[in-house]
Amino acid sequence: MFIKEFVDYLLLEKKYSKHTVTAYQTDLESFSNFYLQEYGNEDMSKSNYSQIRSWIVSLVDKDVSNRTINRKVSSLKAYYRFLLKLEIIEKSPLAKHQALKVSKKMQIPFSDTEVDDVLKVLEEGRDFKSVRDRLIVELFYATGMRRIELVNLKVSDIDFNACLVKVVGKRNKERYVPLIPSIIETAKLYLELRKDVVGVDGNLELLLTEKGVKIYEMLVYRIINSYFSKVSSKVKRSPHILRHSFATHLLNEGADLNAVKELLGHSSLAATQVYTYQSVAQLAKVYKKSHPRNKK
């Protein structure tokens, strides 16, 4: 079925992260199990569009969201492109497939006041956990990095002299993001407290649990959700919303879209443009309030 070869290709040639590759593999196994059960065949290279479409219908019947279905089909498309590259198939069965329509969900960012309120709460604590959590919030809001990028930060990634942090993004692409003085101060304090947890020559990862092991994604989510639930009534209170807030607030202050794209680590400008809605909304608000004709 060439799934293992495809996985190796994604890891070694495309340089995808293990997390991304696992998602691809899970999606392929989902179709593989369906294909075997429904058609008695293990070789997905022999499948046709009608069979794949019946799998899609079965996912719809299970109330799987269109967004998730599109992601699964996208994984399958990539697999068939790989088979085409190896000349195992002559044509992809998904060549003419149209993605299911997905309603665009507006992500509402935190206000700068909400972020300030959380940081004020965290500034009161001087213990390891409080300072670590403050550093996490500050890093998210001041750099716009992704959750997995933050989890994978190493102590050596912070350049205190240049006030920069090295962020390793998707496909192991590196970018350098400036750090404001307040974060440098928090990071220095955190590293001092960190010595009591792991010693001077301990774990190379920057952010650790109180047991001295590398922090993990779900804990980071819980930290953000816990603190922001105290100051915000928004439904979504996740690390991604902080990333969204970073981009939106920069754009509201007049930052160049291309510059924000580079800071976020996006490969295309289209991915960054989804953050412009809030900026446009802010401009409309200012316009309505300030335009002389609107005051009459």
Half-sphere exposure of 36 (CA within 13 A, CB side): 9
Give me the DSSP letters along 206-264: SSB-TTSSB--HHHHHHHHHHHHTTT---S--SHHHHHHHHHHHHHHTT--HHHHHHHH
The answer to whether 19 is a known catalytic residue is: no
* Choice among 53, 97, 166, 240 that is catalytic: 240
Type and span of the H or E element at 176 = strand 174-178
* Choice among 243, 244, 249, 261 that is catalytic: 243
The answer to whether 146 is a known catalytic residue is: yes
The answer to whether 97 is a known catalytic residue is: no
DSSP letter assigned to residue 205: B
Question: Cβ distance 104 to 236 under 8 Å?
Answer: no
The answer to whether 243 is a known catalytic residue is: yes
* Choice among 9, 16, 190, 275 that is catalytic: 275
* Choice among 132, 146, 147, 249 that is catalytic: 146
The answer to whether 266 is a known catalytic residue is: yes
Question: Cβ distance 146 to 169 under 8 Å?
Answer: yes
Name the token pair of 248: 């939106």
Strands 164-168 and 174-178 turn out to be antiparallel
Residue 2, phi then psi, degrees to nearest 5? 65, 20
Rounded to an integer, what distance in angstroms lies between the CA atom of residue 243 and that of residue 178? 15
Q: How far is CA 286 from CA 111, 231, 280, 282, 294, in A?
A: 16, 25, 10, 6, 11
* Choice among 71, 81, 154, 170 that is catalytic: 170
The answer to whether 170 is a known catalytic residue is: yes
Virtual CA dihedral for 127, 131, 132, 137, nearest 10 degrees?
150
Q: Which residues belong to the active site? A: 146, 170, 240, 243, 266, 275
